[in-house]
Every structure is written in C-alpha cells, then in structure tokens.
Amino acid sequence: MASILPSVLLSVSLLAAGPAFAADSKRIAITVDDLPAASVTSIAPAEALRLNQQLLAALRRQGVKAVGFVNEDRLLVPGQIDSGVAVLEAWLDAGMELGNHNFGHLGLWNSPKEDVEAAVLKGEVFTRWVTSRRQAPLRYYRHPYSQTGKTETERESFEAFLAERGYAVAPITVDHDDYLFACVYDRLDAQRQAEQRKTVGDEYDDHLRVSIKVFETMSQELFGRQIPQILVLHANRLNADTLDRTLTTLTQVGYAFVPLDDALRDEAYRSPAKASGRFGPSWLARWARAKGVKLSVYGQPDPRGVTVKWHAQLCRE
C-alpha cells in the first residue's frame, strides 16, 4: 500500500495534461485555509462574508484560481448558518474551488487518528452539499498544522482513508508566518490602528519576499530547478486587506499563477514524504529528509521588525 499511495492520492488531479511552461519558469498555486474566517478576536458572520468577498475580488483581479479549505465548525454559528454557507457559495460563484480542512481543525499530533478521520467526515457535510449541487469538485484535504501523522504507519493508514473518500492531500511548500502578522493586525490599538496596520502590512510583504527566496533555494538544491510552489494563506483580516499586494509581489518576483491541480502534476509532488510528527514543515523539507539530501536552508527565516515586538506584547497565549 505504501508504495502506491502517493500516486493514488494525486490521481484525481494528475490525469489531464497541464499547460506548457518553460523549464525555468516560476509558478505558484494559491491556497487559503480556515474558511469562513480565522481571527484571534471575535468576527461576526457578516464580517466574515465581507472578508471573503475582499479575498475573492483580489483573486479575480489577478486571474488566480485558488482553493479555499473549510473548517465547518466555523460555519455553525447559531442563527447564522446561512451566512457561513454563503461564504462557500461565494467561492464557487467566483470560479474557485473548495477543500476539506476538517471539523475543529484537529491535528494528527494531539488527536487520535480515529478522531481526525471523524473530523474529516463531519467537516464535509455542508461543503459536499454545496459542491454537489453545483457539480463542483471536492477533491483536496489540507492537514491542520500540516501534521501528516506521528508514525509512518499512521500516515499511511490516514492517507488510505482519505483516498477512499476521494481526497488528495494538498501539500504546502511556501509558508511565511501569516498567523503571526495576522494576530498583531487583529489586536492593534484602535487609536493608531490604521498607521500600525500599514507597518504590519509593509513588514508582511518584506517577509514574503525574503521567504520566497528561501523556498526557491530549497527547490533548486533538491530538484535542480524551480518546481511549481504551493503557497498557504489564511482567511483573515490581514490577507483580506493585503492579498492584492501579495499577488502583485509574487508577480514582480517572476511568478505565474497556476491552479493547484496544475502544480500537483509536477513529478516533484510524487516524491516520498515521511510522517511529519509534531511539526509540519514545507514539503520541500520533508522530501529532503526522505531522500537524505542536506539543504542549506529548511524554511522561512524568523520575521523581523516592529511587528515581532508587537506580537510579543499583544499575542501572548
């Protein structure tokens, strides 16, 4: 089973031939986690819908087809379920795709595999209903915390369960700490919020530029080329306000946007990746570990700037 699982899990999205690109072209797929919305402060359903409309408007303006991964527990606000479902409908109306991020955002480190499997099933009720009515696909699962299992046995068993449900795992190769910036963005003092949010946005963009270079280095050292990358973002206020800038930055540093299924057609995504354990690094780091390849870098550097200071003050858990 272990030898065929990677190809089984990707088979849904690898059947059709993708568009032709030059061998040295840089491509990136955009994915957004935690629909309908994530915040360390309260967020009303109406604001969550507006936030997603901002995200979708930015994606459409820049010609991006993204996948939004749903935590269905975030839909279940008493008296407001219709508002949550409206977010899912808005994604499909915009020509985007939906995926499963499970119910309760349970990871495979702190939760038994059986509980996470139950969360996958519970987390597809509304999403499968909405996508089925629209004849839209529901084919990707995104691991919360990027945790793929405590052991290889657990990883293989869980991936077999996903394959039986028709899901392919949606990997992540590019991460740039948006949770840290988003927490600060949400908790800044109202009196200076506009000014300080601009600072956070500037430092967030700077950190993206630094981070993307690191993941490009990892790709080059591991594969001798630039593979199609997969960026993870989250449905939060920060990204709603800055997504246009983020996408423009990616274009400025040479990237073309591709759908997730196009990225996954690259042979790199059929490389073996072992169970993550507690921490979920970029798939580039996982592939290097599985292949026994030593890299000069293993992920984005720690953020710098005043946002880090504000995070220490505002986001202590």
What HEC string does the chain produce? CCCCHHHHHHHHHHCCCCCCCCCCCEEEEEEEEEECCCCCCCCCHHHHHHHHHHHHHHHHHCCCCCEEEECHHHHCCCCCHHHHHHHHHHHHHCCCEEEECCCCCCCCCCCCHHHHHHHHHHCCHHHHHHHHHCCCCCCEECCHHHCCCCCHHHHHHHHHHHHHCCCEECCCCECCCHHHHHHHHHHCCHHHHHHHHHHHHHHHHHHHHHHHHHHHHHHHHHHCCCCCEEEEEECCHHHHHHHHHHHHHHHHCCEEECCHHHHHCCHHHHCCCCCCCCCCCCHHHHHHHHHCCCCCCCCCCCCCCHHHHHHHHHCCC
Do 65 and 95 contact (CB within 8 A), yes or no? yes
- Other C-beta atoms closer than 10 Å to the C-beta of 78 total 5
Would you state the pLDDT for residue 310?
97
Residue type, 244: D
Q: For residue 6, give both structure tokens.
A: 């990677």
Would you state the pLDDT for residue 190?
83
Q: In angstroms, rounded to a whole number, what is the distance separating the alpha carbons of residues 106 and 124?
A: 14
Would you state the pLDDT for residue 22?
56
- Could you read off the pLDDT tens digit of each residue along the chain, which spans 317 residues? 333 344 334 433 333 344 455 556 899 999 999 999 999 999 999 999 999 999 999 999 999 999 999 999 999 888 889 999 999 999 999 999 999 999 999 999 999 999 999 999 999 999 999 999 999 999 999 999 999 999 999 999 999 999 999 999 999 999 999 999 999 999 998 888 999 999 999 999 999 999 999 999 999 999 999 999 999 999 999 999 999 999 999 999 999 999 999 999 999 999 999 999 999 999 999 999 999 999 999 999 999 999 999 999 999 86
Q: In angstroms, rounded to a whole number, what is the distance separating the alpha carbons of residues 214 and 219?
A: 9
Would you state the pLDDT for residue 24?
64
Would you state the pLDDT for residue 8?
36
Would you state the pLDDT for residue 220?
98
Domains for the chain: give ranges and CATH numbers.
5-13+21-176+227-288 (3.20.20.370)
Would you state the pLDDT for residue 269?
98
